[in-house]
Copies of this chain bind each other. A is one copy, B any other.
Amino acid sequence: MTTETISIGIAGATGYAGQELIRLAARHPGVTVTHAMASGATDTPRALPGFGGIWDGEVTPLSIDRLAEDTQAVFMTLPDEVAAEVGPELVARGVRVFDLAGTFRLRDREQRRHWYPATPDLDVPAVYGLPEFARDALPSARLVACPGCYPTAALLALRPLADAGLIEGDVIVDAKSGISGAGKAPSERTHFSERHGNVAAYGVLGHRHGVEIEQELGRQVTFTPHFVPLNRGILETIYARTGSGVTDAAIADTFAAAYAEAPFVRITGDALPEIKHVAHTNFCDVGWRIDTASSRLVLVACLDNLVKGAAGQALQNLNLAFGLDEATGLR
């Protein structure tokens, strides 16, 4: 049997998510990295340090024309205003686009105006690509808005319970994130000496991932991200109230049903997840504890922000979009 691989492009290949995409795509048997491009049109072509023997290509300047001519699918990790131009243009020229930044995630224009002020007026229909809940929509999607790293963990933990009516009222998502989530541009807040031995909350009561979780969950969310001194991984501790009479078994059954066919969601029950078990994998692990007397439910979810929270999930979306096995290249 002859297998033709899917020709892909990566726009924004030098950041951490872009590099992880190259690393994963290079060993994905169903794709070929035809172009890995910088986020600017004038960047100098160059090899990626440390990629010898893994991927020996060069990162070239951004070119919509070359992407449109040579690729079937493009992954974008670009600044908002660049993505807003490149994405629709590629779609118009027949390329399927998987956006890893936030530009296309929020459906409400007022929310976009507030949280993505560079790109409020998009009207390209995008599929919100949380693959476990988008399997039906992905095969025909032209533009896939891959979820944020924080929303991915929160939604995988909360959506089945919310859909089943097991939780009531608002929820609190307290997230602890490694520093690679802040990207590759040096700054005071990503300076080693500022983060080592340190923990800090940021974006308290005002982070756009909170709005994204609210959009997908349809209920009020208090979201607090924190930087903790590690590189890769997010752990979220989620506080909710169940309806009265909801049992531990009901939670377990709901998760089991929701993720029976999901290769990358591992329900750990009361053996609560830890980042070390998901780092460098495409898994999202979800566990919980419940106090039935007070209806207090505490969920813990974790994932690797660069894999299931970014590059791995984008490839999982591509697999589903192109009819491959969902797990291809991601084990």
Interface residues of A (CB under 8 A from B): 16, 27, 49-50, 52-54, 170, 172, 174, 176, 178-180, 184, 186-188, 190-202, 204-206, 220, 222, 224, 226, 228-233, 235, 237, 239, 263-264, 266, 271-281, 283, 289-291, 294, 296, 298, 300, 302, 331
Contact = CB atoms under 8 A, between A and B. Distances in A.
A53 B283 contact: yes
A50 B200 contact: no
A239 B222 contact: yes
How many chain copies? 4
A16 to B, nearest CB: 7
A187 B190 CA distance: 9
Contacts of A195: 192
Contacts of A205: 289-291, 296, 298
Contacts of A273: 200
Nearest to A197: B230
A267 to B, nearest CB: 9
B186 A188 contact: yes
B226 A229 contact: no
Contacts of A294: 170, 220
A103 to B, nearest CB: 23
Nearest to A52: B266
A144 B291 CA distance: 33
Given A176-B176, A277-B50, A298-B204, A193 B184 contact: yes
Given A174-B174, A230-B229, A201 B300 contact: yes
Given A54-B281, A184-B193, A220-B294, 9 more contacts: A49-B277, A54-B331, A190-B192, A191-B191, A192-B192, A198-B230, A201-B237, A204-B298, A205-B289
B296 A197 contact: no
Contacts of A228: 176, 199, 228-230
Contacts of A170: 294
15 contacts: A27-B331, A52-B266, A53-B264, A53-B331, A54-B331, A186-B186, A196-B229, A196-B231, A198-B276, A199-B230, A199-B233, A202-B272, A204-B298, A222-B298, A280-B280
A200 B275 contact: yes
Given A27-B331, A224-B237, A229-B230, A179 B192 contact: yes
B222 A296 contact: yes
Nearest to A264: B53
B291 A172 contact: no
A53 B266 contact: yes
A230 B272 contact: no
A306 to B, nearest CB: 10
Contact of A231 (B49, B193, B206, B331): B193
Nearest to A294: B220
Nearest to A193: B180
Contacts of A226: 176, 235, 237
